[in-house]
Amino acid sequence: ARAGCSGSGQGVLALGVRRGGLVGNVSGGAEMRVGSALSLFANASQTYSEDDRRASANVGVKLVF
């Protein structure tokens, strides 16, 4: 990536990593209402490519007041 500021003769060059050509993403989640003001939730995500694999998960509580 290249960047620069208008009016200045300086630029920025950042080298990155090449990603694979095939990328897949799978995600899902659920939420359960426990009471009128309380619910529990969970979700997960998986991203996969030829060169890279990433996963994440979240679990939490929602409280309405």
Note the pLDDT of residue 51.
73
pLDDT at 15: 79
Span 7-18, average pLDDT: 76
For residue 46, which amino acid is it? Q
Task: Give the per-residue SS3 of 3-33.
Answer: EECCCCCCEEECCCCCCCCCEEEEEEEEEEE
Q: What is the pLDDT of residues 16-54, one digit of tens each?
A: 766 667 788 999 999 999 999 999 999 999 988 877 788
